[in-house]
Structure 1
């Protein structure tokens, strides 16, 4: 989850806004690819099944984009003659709500990114745009040497017994 949220925030904040990416984001959602080098032998089988469940669960997470532009001082007004506060360099912070069955991640995005979003007929005017990701797990388990070591290990145990 952390990797996915960080990747999305980096793509939305650190690169020039791409209208095609924003359109795909709104209509299809991004494709999130994860790689794994765990084999299906021994104790690694449990790690692999945990990774599969974690990646599958990412498909149920709802990501909601909201404008990062808001009241800079929390809606408070500065009194006359007061010293202005120093400029703040707050980073946009996403936040997560819900539980494992229904997580919702709110992503603050720049205003110009939201302006590139197409208006959908099915979406209410006040509803923020949301999307889900399609997670994909590639496992390149390195197991050839492990298989040979298990064969030699069981043979050695058999001979010694």
Structure 2
């Protein structure tokens, strides 16, 4: 059940988009920026306010790969496993991230909700391979050693806030 503060937050996003049904993707993108995923209660609330079926809202949420129905960490690390990155050994980088953070393919988010590790088919930076992104910031020419150092840097950053 959404509280008044949460409803107010969602209402502000909806108002900014004039409750326009054709803005549903942009609305959901803004919601995901706030929550780092799309909570079920929020999707139901959006459906109600936009006078759309919940099925339509869930259809959009599940069609686009960038939307998540599962909570994600503060830092979302995406490791590219496209052809260029794979050939340049992206799998050992993925394995290092998972080992250092204690996550798996089935459980990609750390218990403290700081990190989520995902693989993607292509990040569009083949000339910089192998690459990963952290919250859409590209890190080029990655190695397992650089992955470990990046995690240390991000942990320091996370605990300074």
The bucket for the TM-score relative to the shorter chain is under 0.3
In the superposition, the TM-score normalised over structure 1's length comes to 0.22
State the structure with more CA Rg. Answer: 1
TM-score (norm 2): 0.22
Counting helix residues as a fraction of each chain, which structure ranks higher? 2
- Structure number with the bigger relative contact order (C-alpha 8 A, sep ≥ 6) is 1
More strand by share: 1
